[in-house]
A and B are shown apart, each in its own frame.
Chain A
Amino acid sequence: MKLISFVKHWLQDIIMIFIIITLIEILLPNSNMRKYINMVVGFLIILVLISPFLKLLNQNYNIDDLISEIHIETSDYNLEDESELLSTQDEQIKELYINRFKSELEKLIYETSNYKVDYINIYINEEKFEELQQLEILVSEKEKEEDETKDSIVTVEIKDVSIKDINNEMDLHKEFLEWDAVELKKIIYQNFDIPKENIKIFLNSSKVGELDGKFGE
């Protein structure tokens, strides 16, 4: 039974490859390029003719064969796998970049102002990660060393408030346009070279621990 199915598949492959090659022959330009293409097509035919025997031989392998097989399998060149690998690599690089950027930004804000970062939202250009499209930062005032109790309510005085969008949750995270925000934007611009109009800074005026960590998008 196995042999019959094996032969069937093999014949199917051969028939299909010859049909395909006949169609390709029609497409060929009639120039002196023809012989080069015929060479490649010949390789393909040989591949299709030979490859089933490999499967047949692999059914009764010994240890030496197995070792060499693993070796060849690992060195097998597969285009699709490679592209998949590259895309996952890209994603990993992007993630790493974002995390590094976030930690650096947190450190910078903590050291240069009397605010600390609660949450950062980054919109990145898909092609070039260096181009940040938008940066949203939620800051809250640094707690003083002495009143670092869990239940304390941080009260923040906001002098000047502009609410850009009433529909989203900006009642909690208002973009504060007072001196501090301008200063923070300036610091970020100087250190990371992000244009000021792409930076949005919100002040977290909720109680400590009440942060839901979401921006209205």
Chain B
Amino acid sequence: MEILQIVTIGIVSTVLVVLLRQWDRPEFAIIVSIVTGIFIISMLLDKLKYIIDTLSQLIRYTNMESAYFTIVLKIIGIAYIVEFGAEISRDAGEEAIASKVELGGKIIIMVLAMPILLALIDLIIKILP
């Protein structure tokens, strides 16, 4: 039934935003879209936690270090947050700000990816005779 709630919230807020734009109130339209986004994400958080816990259990079956996996999960989280911010900026017609937000996300993802890259290089150096 949660999917019905989410879809209903989405449709209602879409109608609201369209009406607000028609009444020449774009600032309220942006606020409504931000609040809707946060609300829907917060509804999904505990479900997401369940999925992440299951993935962590799967990781324990492998001989892989869980630190690397944690990095991947962090990167996914960052991608979601960045996307959320950038989309809102785009809705408001601020393409420049949206691209800056995305740039920040990309750079932070690269920084997080460095340990994995270093581990890989380490392995390759070890294996080569």
Contacts and interface: CB of A to CB of B under 8 A. Distances in A.
Q: Do A and B come from one complex?
A: yes
Interface of A: 9, 12-13, 16-17, 19-20, 23-24, 27-29, 31-34, 36-37, 39-41, 43-44, 46-48, 50-51, 53-54, 57, 68-69, 72, 76-80
B83 A37 contact: no
Interface of B: 51, 55, 58-59, 61-65, 67-72, 75-76, 79-80, 82-83, 86, 102, 105-106, 109-110, 112-113, 115-120, 122-124, 126-127
Main secondary structure of the interface of A (DSSP, over half): helix
B127 A9 contact: no
A87 to B, nearest CB: 17
9 contacts: A12-B62, A13-B64, A23-B51, A33-B109, A36-B79, A36-B113, A44-B69, A50-B123, A79-B70
A37 B72 contact: yes
Given A54-B127, A57-B127, A78-B67, A37 B76 contact: yes
Contacts of B64: 13, 17, 44, 47-48
Main secondary structure of the interface of B (DSSP, over half): helix
Contact of A40 (B58, B72, B80): B72
A47 B116 contact: yes
Given A12-B61, A40-B109, A47 B75 contact: no
A40 B127 contact: no
B40 to A, nearest CB: 14
Contacts of B106: 33, 36
Given A17-B64, A47-B120, A48-B64, A37 B75 contact: yes
A69 B125 CA distance: 11
A24 B72 CA distance: 9
Contact of A46 (B51, B105, B120): B120
Given A44-B116, A54-B127, A72 B122 contact: yes
Nearest to A13: B62
A66 to B, nearest CB: 12
A36 B62 CA distance: 24
Contacts of A34: 79
Contacts of B109: 33, 36-37, 40
A29 B79 contact: yes
